[in-house]
Amino acid sequence: MLRIFHSLPRTHKVLLLPVATMVTVLGTQKIIGVFGDSEDAQKQIPLATTTTISQSIVNSATPKETDSTAFSLGDLSKEIPLAQLEPLGVMHLDLVPEAHADDVPQPSAQAISPIIKPAVKPSVRKLAVQLPVGDAYSATDEDDDSIGGTSYEDWSFDNSLDPSGSTELGDEIAARETYVPEWQSYTIQNGDSFALTAERTLGLAYSDVMQILNTVPDKKVLTRWRVGHSFDYKLDEHGQLLALRVMKDPREGYLIQRDDETADFAYSPIEKTGEAAQRMFTGTVNGSFALSAQSTGLSSAEVSELTSVLSKKLDFRRNARAGDQFRVLVESDMIDGHSMDSKVLAAEYEGQRMNLTVVRNSADDHFYTPDGNSLDPAFDRYPFQGHYRISSPFNLRRHHPVTGRISPHKGTDFAMRSGTPIDAPADGIVERVVNHPIAGRYIVIRHNNGYVTRYLHLSKALVKPGEHVKMGEEIALSGSTGRVTGPHLHYEVLVNNHQVDAMRVKLPESQSLRGDALAAFKRESENLLAKLDQSGDNEPAIAQVSVKKNDDSDDNI
């Protein structure tokens, strides 16, 4: 009991001091009395409640006019409400009901002497003291400076916290489990860098970060992150990186893995294959055709291809009007919800001034009308994309700007910045790639229809002699080499080895499909045209989009 008393806080010791003094003076044997085994005694003297005995002790310890050393059985049997007790009067006595007196005659309740001195067996086990609730110790009594902190222990596998579990059994089960690394994903946040994320999340040292950067061919995939993008990784049981999977785009990326023997990192390329899906877009022209097409959900690349295809026969500035309707069938590779490598399969334009339907031929990847007539001319008028000002036209009687004499200009000069791409106006074979002191770097191409074209003052040639080129293929970059007054392209067209005006000469007609090629094209185009007609049953609206998959099932987006 003294150990319990000394272990209490100082405040509780002060409150318990009168009780402790009383217990010390009177002794435990004078406080607790057990009177015989007889049934009459047990009926007359039931085990008193803790409140009865406590109040009797307090009353005996309080100086009064009566004798403080005597108490009667009536005091023991008298119930006193707990609310009427003083704080120091609450005491618990844990007794064993079968405690017996050693060979002491059991007197009647009326004959008990004031001082009872029974001999109690060791079965009386403990005497506990309960303090008032108001003085109980709690964490809220701590100073403000002691509040807070962190925990460094990992209790996730501590089976001792589970009353129904066995610590030894839990340790044995955990030891038998084999750690299996799993792929985890991390989404890039604002301010993240590869070095910082590698240290905090991937458990990499600075040397590991530098090795990975030196291993990957394209470092931009790790050094130029975009917020919202994500990458995947695997960690071992010690939190060290095992593998890292980062994508440049939905199709291509890198898998970086740690070698088990050398602990060095090596990479392997990743290339995902997509599932071909066809999407149908319908819309109405309202203002710019490009903006109207983009409002239907077409991407910028798809709008550019559609505009380029239709513009070969349709002049949007002159023939397009508000209210004209169009339908476009696009095929893409769908990878993780992203469309890749989109291409226009078919398109239909219904306008107030012009109707046009075009279908792609998979045999040569060119567009034709449903009758097999090609949209591509056999010979393009301009050897470039876009529009450039003619700085000097074809003129056989041009006067020289310095001498004033007649100096024929047998080509057409287009004012353009150095480095502008130059395209082949038709299929042909490269005959010459020459550096000349006056003409500068120039190229000569002989075409299949017998026409010859020349390109002067180039900054760079992208083809070599003997190489076959196709219409629209990039062959050179414009420049200002040779004797010139500024950067431009000098373009010549020769018919029967004589220069002609490239802007006025009659060009060969477009080629059309014939024979087996035409029959195969019509069989292929039937399905595409049917999808265009099916989407045109209802009145199209701006920004209305539908999707057609390979199974011909329609889903609205």
| Cα 119 → chain centroid | 80
Query: Is the pLDDT reported for residue 71 higher than 60?
Result: no
Q: Coil, helix or strand for 135?
A: helix
pLDDT band at 44 (very low <50, low <70, confident <90, very high): very low
Q: With beta carbons less than 8 A apart as the criterion, state whether 159 and 171 touch.
A: yes
> What is the rounded average pLDDT of the residues 76-94?
50
Provide CB contacts within 8 A for 151, sequence distance 6+.
Answer: none
pTM score: 0.47
DSSP H/E element including 469: strand 468-469
Place of tokens 């489990």: 177
Q: How many CA atoms lie within 13 A of 39 on its CB side?
A: 0
Tell me how far apart the alpha carbons of residues 301 and 96 are, in angstroms, rounded to a whole number: 93
What is the per-residue pLDDT for 223?
87
Helices (H) and strands (E) in the chain, counts: 14, 24
CATH architecture classification, 390-500: Distorted Sandwich (2.70)
Distance (Å) of CA 126 to CA 118, 129, 135, 471: 17, 10, 23, 107
CA torsion, points 475, 478, 482, 484, in degrees to nearest 10?
Answer: 150
Q: Among the CATH numbers 3.10.450.350, 3.40.50.1220, 3.20.20.70, 2.40.110.10, which is that of 184-271?
A: 3.10.450.350
> Which of the pair, 537 or 526, is modelled with greater confidence?
526
Q: Coil, helix or strand for 78?
A: coil
DSSP H/E element including 77: helix 73-77
275-376+527-556 has CATH 3.10.180.10 classification: no
Q: For residue range 169-208, what is the model confidence (pLDDT) as tens digits? A: 555 655 567 888 889 999 998 988 888 888 888 888 888 8
Nearest to 413 by CA among 480, 342, 321, 319: 480
Q: What is the DSSP letter of 401?
A: T
**How many residues make up the chain in this entry?**
557
Distance (Å) of CA 276 to CA 37, 279, 333, 383: 97, 10, 5, 34
Q: For residue range 341-357, what is the model confidence (pLDDT) as tens digits? A: 889 999 999 999 989 99
Tell me how far apart the alpha carbons of residues 456 and 199 are, in angstroms, rounded to a whole number: 57
Nearest to 512 by CA among 499, 523, 521, 501: 521
Token reading at 50: 């803790």
Same fold, 184-271 and 390-500: no
> Which of the pair, 398 or 481, is modelled with greater confidence?
481
Q: What is the CA radius of gyration of the chain?
A: 50
Q: How many CA atoms lie within 13 A of 121 on its CB side?
A: 13
Tell me how far apart the alpha carbons of residues 203 and 94 are, in angstroms, rounded to a whole number: 59
Bridge partners (DSSP) of residue 233 are 184, 244
Place of tokens 């406080």: 31
Instruction: Say which amino acid occupies 288.
Output: S
> What is the rounded average pLDDT of the residues 92-100?
47
Tell me how far apart the alpha carbons of residues 223 and 228 are, in angstroms, rounded to a whole number: 15
- Percent of the chain's residues with pLDDT above 70: 66
pLDDT band at 168 (very low <50, low <70, confident <90, very high): low
Tell me how far apart the alpha carbons of residues 208 and 259 are, in angstroms, rounded to a whole number: 12
In 264-379, which ranges are E strands?
Answer: 265-271, 275-284, 325-335, 338-350, 355-361, 366-368
Place of tokens 């006056």: 438
Q: For residue range 427-468, what is the model confidence (pLDDT) as tens digits? A: 999 999 999 999 999 999 999 888 999 999 999 999 999 999
Token reading at 500: 């002609």
Provide CB contacts within 8 A for 525, sequence distance 6+.
Answer: 346, 359, 361, 370
User: Domain-by-domain residue ranges, the chain?
Assistant: 2-135, 184-271, 275-376+527-556, 390-500
Query: Is the pLDDT reported for residue 114 higher than 60?
Result: no
Nearest to 351 by CA among 278, 292, 279, 280: 292
Query: Is the pLDDT reported for residue 473 higher than 90?
Result: yes
> Which of the pair, 86 or 545, is modelled with greater confidence?
86
> What is the rounded average pLDDT of the residues 461-480?
94
What is the per-residue pLDDT for 378?
84
Q: Helix axis angle, 50-61 relative to 10-26, nearest 10°?
A: 80
Provide CB contacts within 8 A for 510, sequence distance 6+.
Answer: 373, 374, 375, 376, 377, 378
The pLDDT mean for the chain works out to 75
What is the per-residue pLDDT for 274?
75
> What is the rounded average pLDDT of the residues 215-236?
88
Tell me how far apart the alpha carbons of residues 314 and 320 are, in angstroms, rounded to a whole number: 8
Tell me how far apart the alpha carbons of residues 503 and 508 are, in angstroms, rounded to a whole number: 13
Query: Is the pLDDT reported for residue 302 higher than 80?
Result: yes
Place of tokens 């010549």: 492
Q: For residue range 488-501, what is the model confidence (pLDDT) as tens digits? A: 999 999 998 899 99
pLDDT band at 119 (very low <50, low <70, confident <90, very high): very low
> What is the rounded average pLDDT of the residues 293-319?
89
Bridge partners (DSSP) of residue 185 are 232
Token reading at 473: 């293929």
